[in-house]
Copies of this chain bind each other. A is one copy, B any other.
Amino acid sequence: MIYPEKRPKLYNCDTCLFKIISCQYINSEEFKKLQDSSIQLRFKKGEAILKQGANASYLVFLQKGIVKFNLEDEMGKNLILTITKSPSLLGSANIFYEGINIFSVYAVEDCEGCLIDIPMLKQIALLNTDFLMKLLELVSGMFKTSVFNFISLAHKQVNGRIADVIIYLSTSVYQSLSFTLSLSRKELSEFAGCSTENVIHTLSRFHKEGILSVEGKKIEIHDFERLQKISKFG
């Protein structure tokens, strides 16, 4: 064989979180099958990890990086469903739905992940009901968060939605009151469901009022409680 190590491992499967979690439910022989049918890959910022409309033949366990879940409508407009950081299992809503991906997933910064073969995962999950239940929890959880996003879009005005976005990024993605965005203003607007200008206006208003400071991509939250109030009443 000319290329015995055509795909060098980016990291060791033995210390992988997905293995650790999976092996609470399935035996190591079964995990070996999953491992052998999976592929480790790097994704550059902006690259598609899963494509809306494509066949759902694999999931991705995200090892490193931050991604956006993206919906493209008929008119070519984008809507960001949610932003997720590693470690996380991407595309679980597609496991048990025959056919095509409902949404796209893009890397918003350089990512590393592992493609997991859906037919193999399905086969193993059906023999291990606890494992199956664990996977299903992920699907319902995804549904649940999307439902709350729904409320934000339907009933809050831009103030509140931007506050929601900042709170979400701070608590769930960057896990700090001060962080450097890997998203553009346009992407923020696609997440909040408004125009880019409106994102900018609102952020600079928040800045003026001392709620947070914005300097390019760097955001620092000064008054988290005020932000929560705006989220609630805005």
Residues in A lying within 8 Å of B, measured CB to CB: 71, 73-75, 77, 79, 81, 93-94, 96-98, 102-103, 126, 129, 132-133, 136-137, 139-144, 146-147, 149-151, 153-155, 193, 232-233
Contacts and interface: CB of A to CB of B under 8 A. Distances in A.
Nearest to A147: B102
A75 B94 CA distance: 33
A141 B102 CA distance: 10
By secondary structure, the A interface counts as helix
Given A136-B96, A136-B136, A143-B93, A153 B150 contact: yes
A100 to B, nearest CB: 10
A143 B150 contact: no
Contact of A71 (B129, B151, B193): B151
Contact of A137 (B73, B98, B133, B155): B98
